[in-house]
């Protein structure tokens, strides 16, 4: 997952934060001889084919778990968790990642909030198990619940690249997939062709895709034209809708059924199979 960004912050800084937790960057971690190979393998995960990446991710989770608690295992566990949801790497893999992160948090409780939030996301949205009796974990989980209630009530109106305006509440009776993305985000770019395929397949059955970018039209327009994307691309340069949906990392997708109920969401990039599973919860199969 790539961290979403205010327009005034350079993209490069957020690309770095996607590979390393913000805390790790701030602390300028110096890895031990045992930790550095793990950190390097985590940083290279996106270069691997998906089937290999799943196996390597699980292996890295086990390696991190074997580190002594004095090591930087929490930083490594957080880095791995941040990348483990970029696709369909299997429930077993995600469970190993979550177990490793849980153990690291038990050994180093009371630190920064971000790893607790990462674990809460895995539990709530990826349905893994994690037993962690820590106030920060409970607080993170409660915030996710509050965010979801807010997204259920959300409404917005944004203009697309052609100037047409789209209002979420006006789309009752349709299945709506709201996707947050950016041109500079590799996982976002990777899932766009699958979204286009699904749009072509289901648009006559009531599927609407609203893809929201916080970038300027001058950057988005040629990018979309080169890829012949047909579903609406909405512009949110002031990030008001990003803030309404509490978007802190992209890509993210939300599916509303024909009655306007939020029935599925992703915390990261999805594959074709995963998108189809999300749409099936809204009655599109």
So what's the pLDDT on residue 122? 97
So what's the pLDDT on residue 4? 57
So what's the pLDDT on residue 42? 97
Q: Which fold has domain 156-280?
A: Glutaredoxin (3.40.30)
Give strand pairing partners of 158: 166
So what's the pLDDT on residue 70? 80
So what's the pLDDT on residue 6? 43
What residues in the chain have per-residue pLDDT under 70?
Answer: 1-28
Considering only the C-alpha atoms of the chain, give the largest distance between any 2 of them, rounded to a whole number of Å: 58
Task: List strands edge to edge, sheet with 262-266.
Answer: 233-235, 207-213, 175-180, 252-256, 262-266
Percent of residues in the chain assigned helix, strand, coil, to nearest 5? 55, 15, 35
pLDDT in tens, 200-243: 999 999 999 999 999 999 999 999 999 999 999 999 999 999 99
The domain segmentation of the chain, as residue ranges, is 8-149, 156-280
- Cα distance between residue 133 and residue 168, in whole Å: 38
- % of residues, the chain, pLDDT over 90: 86
So what's the pLDDT on residue 191? 96
Instruction: Find all residues with CB under 8 Å of 146, minimum gap 6, and list them.
Output: none
Flag whether the pTM goes above 0.75.
yes
């Amino acid at each position: 997952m790539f961290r979403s960004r205010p327009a005034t912050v350079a993209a490069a800084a957020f690309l770095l934060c996607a590979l390393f937790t913000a805390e790790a960057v701030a602390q300028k971690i110096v890895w031990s001889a045992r930790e550095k190979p793990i950190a390097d393998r985590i940083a290279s995960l996106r270069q691997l084919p998906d089937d290999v990446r799943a196996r390597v991710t699980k292996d890295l989770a086990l390696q991190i778990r074997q580190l002594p608690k004095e090591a930087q295992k929490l930083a490594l566990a957080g880095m791995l968790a941040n990348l483990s949801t970029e696709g369909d790497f299997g429930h077993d893999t995600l469970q190993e990642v979550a177990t490793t992160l849980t153990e690291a948090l038990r050994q180093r409780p009371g630190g920064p909030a971000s790893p607790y939030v990462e674990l809460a996301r895995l539990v709530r949205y990826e349905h893994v198990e994690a037993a962690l009796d820590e106030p920060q974990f409970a607080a993170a989980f409660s915030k996710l619940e509050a965010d979801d209630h807010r997204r259920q009530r959300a409404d917005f109106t944004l203009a697309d690249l052609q100037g047409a305006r789209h209002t979420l509440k006006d789309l009752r009776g349709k299945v709506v997939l709201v996707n947050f993305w950016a041109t500079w985000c590799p996982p976002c770019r990777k899932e766009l062709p699958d979204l286009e395929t699904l749009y072509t397949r289901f648009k006559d059955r009531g599927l609407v895709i609203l893809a929201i970018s916080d970038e300027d039209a001058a950057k988005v327009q040629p990018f979309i034209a080169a890829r012949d994307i047909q579903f609406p691309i909405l512009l949110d340069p002031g990030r008001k809708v990003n803030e309404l949906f509490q978007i802190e990392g992209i890509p993210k997708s939300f599916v509303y059924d024909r009655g306007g109920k939020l029935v599925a969401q992703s915390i990261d990039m999805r594959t074709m199979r995963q998108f189809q599973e999300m749409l099936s919860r809204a009655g599109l199969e």
